A and B are shown apart, each in its own frame.
Chain A
C-alpha cells in the first residue's frame, strides 16, 4: 500500500490539537513529512494531506499557510481556531487595536499582528476537523479515510444528537442552563453534558448555515437570560460565524 504523506502545522494557537494528534499511535502506512512540533527536521514540502492548526493571527501565519496550501493535495483545518478563528477570534475591530496596545504597549513589535481568523478566509480548505482539541477517533477516522484514498464524512448535526443517543439529561430543559449544544457541531459524544456541564460550543458552530443562533437566543430569552449574557456566551466560539450578531439582535428587536 502506498504511504500517506502528511504534514502537520501550527499557526497561532496553543498546539493542543497537535499534541492530541501526537499522542495517537499512527500506523506504518502514514509518513510524516513535516511536523515541526515533533522534529525540527524537514521543510514544508509536497504532501498528500496537510493538517493545519491555529488561526491566521500574523502576517507570517498567512505566508506559511499559503506555502502549506501550495504543497498539499488536501488541506484540513484542524481544531476550532483553524475552522472558526477560535477564542482569539472573539476580539474584533477597535477592540483588537485597544487590546493589542494594552498588551504590547508602544514597543517595537516585529510581527504583523492581526485579528485571529479562520484559515478558510485565506486559502481553500478541503475538510474541517473540528474540536478543541479534536477527538481521537475523529483524527484517526480522517487519517484512515485519506490513507485509503477516500475522504471523511463531516458531521453536520449538533451535539444534542449525541447527548440524546447517550441518554444524558437535557440540562437546557431541566436546569435552564445556557447550553450551546444545539448550535455546536457534534463529535465530542456530548462529553461535558455527561458531567452535567453545559456545552460552551468549543467545537464551533454547525457548518452550512444551520447554526440557528436566533432560535437558540429566543429559547434563552424565554428562560430569562439577557441579551448581553446570551451574546457573551455565543461569541466565545461563534464570533466569526457569519451574521451571528444579526441573528441574536433579531430576537431582541
Chain B
C-alpha cells in the first residue's frame, strides 16, 4: 500500500465518521478513506501504525486499533498529549484528516495461528492490542485460547473497559478470558494489582502460547520475569514500542534506537520486537 502517487509522504484524505469517549483523555475515532478505491484496497497488519496529519498542525504516528477484516474503515485511539493530538481530540464527525501508511512490521499473526494468545496491556497499551484481539475474534477458528489482561492505574483509565466488560461472559464460553485490573483505585469493584500478577489466571497454556505486550517500557522487564516463571517461552514473547516518528518510513532518524550491533529504525524494523531483541539491546526500551 505504498503507491502514494510516487511520494511516500503524500496523504490520503480521511473523514471522521464517529467519535467515542473512552476515558477523560482518550477518544476512539472511526475513519473512512474519501477515495472509494483506497477504502476498498487499504489494509494492514495488527500492530502497524499510520501517520496522521492535521493541516497546519503537523503529523503524528498512531497505532491502529481496529481489525483489518473490517475493510474500508479503521479506528484510531487517540490520547490528548501534544499539539496535534489535542486538536484531533476536538474533531467531529465529518471533519477531515490526512493519513498515510500503514507502517511498521506489525505482529506476526500468521505465526500465532494454531496457538493460544496472551495479550497484556498496561495503560494506553490496549490500543494496538485491541487490533490483535479484534482480528482474532474475526478469525476465531485460527487461534486457541485467548486471554486479554487490561490494566491501568485507575478504573477510569482502562481503555475499552465497557467493550471488554460487555463481552466477558459470552467470551468465556468461547475460551476467551478477559481480565481487567487496576493498581491504585480503591473504588474499583474488580480485580486489583499489576497486570503481571494476573498472568496466573490466564486460560492460555504457557507451552502453546504467544504473548503480546504493550505498555510503558519500565514495566517490561518485570512482566518478562513473571511470564518466564509461569513457563511462557521467551522466544514467543513480542512487545511493541513507541517513538515520535516524523516520517514513518525509516528516513528521519527520530526513532533510531538500539546499540551499535543492533541499530534499528523502530518505524520500519519495529514497532514490534521479540523478547531477545529487547534484552540484548539497551536503549530499545
Task: Please tell me whether chains A and B touch each other in their complex, using a CB distance cut-off of 8 A.
Answer: yes
Where the two chains meet, the residues of A that have a C-beta atom closer than 8 Å to any C-beta of B are 148-151, 153
The contact string, 1 if C-beta is below 8 Å from chain A, for chain B 75-108, is: 0000000010001000000000000000000000
Answer yes or no: B56 CB below 8 A from chain A CBs: yes
Check B276 for interface membership: any CB of A closer than 8 A.
Answer: no
- Which residue on chain A has the smallest CB distance to residue B56? A148
Contact A153 B83 (CB under 8 A): yes
A150 to chain B, nearest CB (A): 5
B57 located at the interface, meaning its Cβ lies under 8 Å from any Cβ of chain A in the complex: yes
Cα A102 to Cα B29 in complex, Å, equals 66
Chain B residue nearest to A144 in the complex (CB): B56
Which residue of chain A has the shortest Cβ distance to B84 in the bound complex?
Answer: A150
Q: What is the CB-to-nearest-CB distance from A17 to chain B, in angstroms, rounded to a whole number?
A: 25
List residues of chain A with CB within 8 A of the CB of B83: 150-151, 153
Nearest CB on B from A107, distance (A) = 51
A148-B57, A150-B56 known; 7 new pairs, CB 8 Å cut-off, are: A148-B56, A149-B87, A150-B57, A150-B83, A150-B87, A151-B83, A153-B83
Instruction: Note all chain B residues with C-beta closer than 8 A to A148.
Output: 56-57
Q: How far is the CA of A149 from the CA of B86 in the complex (A)?
A: 10
A-B contacts, 9 listed (Cβ < 8 Å): A148-B56, A148-B57, A149-B87, A150-B56, A150-B57, A150-B83, A150-B87, A151-B83, A153-B83
Instruction: Determine the distance from Cα of A151 to Cα of B87 in the docked complex, in whole angstroms.
Output: 10
Please name the residue on chain A nearest to B57 by beta carbon: A150
Contacts of B87 in A (CB 8 A): 149-150
Binary A-proximity of B44-85 (CB < 8 A = 1, otherwise 0): 000000000000110000000000000000000000000100
| Residues on A with beta carbons closer than 8 Å to the beta carbon of B57 | 148, 150
Instruction: Type the 1/0 row for B121-154, where 1 means its CB is closer than 8 Å to any CB of A.
Output: 0000000000000000000000000000000000
Which A residues are in CB contact (< 8 Å) with B56? 148, 150
Q: Which residues of chain B are near A151, meaning CB under 8 Å?
A: 83
Report the minimal beta-carbon distance from A48 to chain B, rounded to whole angstroms: 16
Residues of B within 8 A of A150 (CB): 56-57, 83, 87
User: Which chain B residue lies CB-closest to A152?
Assistant: B83
Question: In the assembled complex, which residues on chain B have CB atoms less than 8 Å from the CB atom of A153?
Answer: 83
Alpha-carbon distance A151/B82, docked complex (angstroms): 10
Assembly CA distance A136 to B57 (angstroms): 20
> What separation, in Å, do the CA atoms of A149 and B83 have in the docked complex?
10
Nearest A residue to B55 by beta-carbon distance?
A: A148
B27 to chain A, nearest CB (A): 17
Q: Which residue of A lies closest to B54 (CB)?
A: A150
Task: A31 to B57: give the CA distance in the assembly, Å.
Answer: 22
A149 to B56, CA, bound (A): 10
Interface flags for B189-200 (1: CB within 8 Å of A; 0: not) read: 000000000000
What is the bound-complex CA distance between A151 and B57, given in angstroms?
Answer: 8
The complex places the Cα of A153 from the Cα of B56 at a distance, in Å, of 12
Within the assembled complex, what's the spacing in Å between the Cα atoms of A150 and B87? 7
User: Closest CB-CB distance, A1 to chain B, in whole Å?
Assistant: 12
Shortest Cβ distance from A149 into B: residue: B87
Residue on B nearest A147 in the bound complex, by CB:
B56
Q: Separation in Å of the A111 CB from the closest CB of chain B?
A: 41
Min CB gap A97→B, angstroms: 45
In Å, the complex CA distance between A156 and B83 comes to 16
Per the bound structure, the CA–CA distance linking A82 and B273 in Å amounts to 47
A151 and B83 CA atoms in complex are apart in Å by 7
Of A149, A150, A151, the most chain B CB neighbours within 10 A belong to A150
Q: Quick one: closest A residue to B90, CB to CB? A: A149
Q: How far is the CB of A137 from chain B (nearest CB, A)?
A: 16
A150 to B83 Cα, complex, angstroms: 6
Bound complex: CA of A252 vs CA of B87, how far in Å? 50
Cα of A15 to Cα of B37 in the assembled complex, Å:
57
The CA-CA distance from A117 to B56 in the complex, in Å, is 35
Give Cα A194 to B57, complex, Å: 31
